[in-house]
Chain A
Amino acid sequence: MELRVIEFHLDSRSGVSPYQQLVRQVRHALRLGLLRKGDQLPTVKDVVAALAINPNTVLKAYRELEHEGLVAARPGLGTFVTATLTDGSLAAHQPLSQDLRRWLAKARLAGLDEESIEALFMATFRASTREEIA
């Protein structure tokens, strides 16, 4: 019961509000399968004491996650994960990650530095997202 599943951290220069950062970290952990149904999120007091942030920031993040149907608060017990974001796609992560590694190796071989790789990835990602929408 006392098992701590995830730990939050804050990036003060990200330009993303602290509560949004917490929401994203939970969603991220759900997507990667680090958080599963039934897991307990850290208590508000624990998060606040670890990060020295305003309690309302944590409450707001948990409320949003609750609103999205990802977690549920059980009064007096804590906040628990009620849904998953992996949709059974978790099995596909491993081969996809391997493909990506191969691609990265090729990009480095072609002389791209980290910044260029990131820029190329983001540009391609955005372009393909746009095509899908159109």
Chain B
Amino acid sequence: MTAVLRTHELGKRYRQRWALTDCTLDIPAGRVVGLVGRNGAGKTTLLNMAVGQLEPTTGTIEVLGGRPASGAAQLAKVGYVAQDTPTYSGLSVAEHLRLGARLNPAWDDTLAQDRVGRLGLDPTQRAGKLSGGQRAQLALTLGIAKRPQLLVLDEPVAALDPIARREFLQALMEAAAEQELSVLLSSHLVADLERVCDYLIVIDAARVRVAGEIEDLLASHHRLTGPRRDLDTLPADQHVVTASHTDRQTTLVIRTNSTIHDPAWTVSELDLEDLVLAYMSSQGTTDRNHSPRPSLAVQR
């Protein structure tokens, strides 16, 4: 099976600042991939390179076996719902669908009409008059009816209220089930990703901190607490993600594929939120000189 996204040492620099560096990924098709990280961590940069709106500064990127935006066939394979689910506020719902039909060779008009009907959208209504949730659903309809093999969504639910957010994710998952669609979506809400994703990429300060099948990630990460000890004395196959010490106690988050035998440790499991936070805090504060916007939100 072709990888849906394969990158090798991918990087993007804006003038002096690297928005993404050393990004190497290999994601199989058929997954719902969650890309999580703070605002400004490099999520949008990666997504924009995947859909071909940005050229890499270094490294290579391949989407569904082709170079992003390299031709009409490649463009037809990838759908993109950009940040804040943009629509044309002056155009009506029906005009959006006509535009979609005009621009996309594989446009599925039955599906688009059916979705608009089920959502109860008035075809003559201008997009500017729709609610945030309805606008997001309209943008999703355009993305789905294009019949892509991969649908990329940048923070699709960030601006939505809880009900609109749930309805959006329901529609997205329904499409994923029905059309055997691969999905790549970014979010700073771990709780949203937990239900819908089966593959996770954590990105922080322009670097991929961890990537993998969520099930494998949860099975291989553990929190260890025990008497204070030196990290050099750990078995070689225990990779330390975070470590904190008091005078007497050591608490670690580690990644390992083998069983933890040392009786000195109390071992507990991590949930997805713990895991994401562990990777986002393990970076340290050395090269983070800017944090203008709120950091990762972990609300439920």
Residues of chain A having any CB pair with chain B under 8 Å: 10, 12-13, 15, 17-18, 44-45, 48-58
Quick one: closest B residue to A47, CB to CB? Answer: B177
What is the distance, in angstroms, from B183's C-beta to the closest C-beta of chain A? 9
Give the number of A-B contacts (CB < 8 Å): 55
What is the distance, in angstroms, from B91's C-beta to the closest C-beta of chain A? 28
Question: Which of B72-80, B93-101, B120-128, B188-196 has 4 or more CB atoms under 8 Å from chain A?
Answer: B188-196
| A53–B178 touching, CB < 8 Å | no
Which single member of B174, B197, B269 contacts A48 (CB below 8 Å)?
Answer: B174
Q: Assuming A12-B300, A44-B177, A48-B176, is B170 touching A54 (CB within 8 A)?
A: no
What is the distance, in angstroms, from A22's C-beta to the closest C-beta of chain B? 12
Q: Which residues of A contact B109 (CB under 8 A)?
A: none
Known: A17-B218, A52-B170, A54-B196. 19 other contacts (CB 8 A): A12-B195, A13-B300, A17-B215, A45-B178, A48-B170, A48-B176, A48-B177, A49-B173, A50-B170, A51-B195, A52-B166, A52-B169, A52-B195, A52-B196, A54-B195, A55-B173, A56-B31, A56-B198, A57-B198
Quick one: closest B residue to A53, CB to CB? Answer: B195
Q: Which residues of B contact A57 (CB under 8 A)?
A: 198
What is the distance, in angstroms, from B186's C-beta to the closest C-beta of chain A? 16
B36 within 8 A of A: no
Q: Which residues of A contact B32 (CB under 8 A)?
A: 54-56
Q: Which residues of B contact A48 (CB under 8 A)?
A: 170, 173-174, 176-177
20 contacts between A and B (CB under 8 A): A12-B191, A12-B300, A17-B218, A45-B174, A45-B178, A48-B173, A48-B174, A48-B176, A49-B174, A49-B177, A50-B170, A51-B170, A52-B173, A52-B196, A53-B196, A54-B173, A54-B176, A54-B198, A56-B31, A56-B198
CA distance A57 to B177 in the complex (A): 11
Q: Which residues of A contact B173 (CB under 8 A)?
A: 48-49, 52-55
CA distance A45 to B271 in the complex (A): 26
Q: Assuming A15-B271, A50-B170, A52-B170, is B177 touching A45 (CB within 8 A)?
A: yes
CA distance A1 to B174 in the complex (A): 22
Please give the number of chain B residues whose Cβ is less than 8 angstroms from any Cβ of chain A in the complex: 24
Quick one: closest A residue to B34, CB to CB? Answer: A54
What is the distance, in angstroms, from B202's C-beta to the closest C-beta of chain A? 18
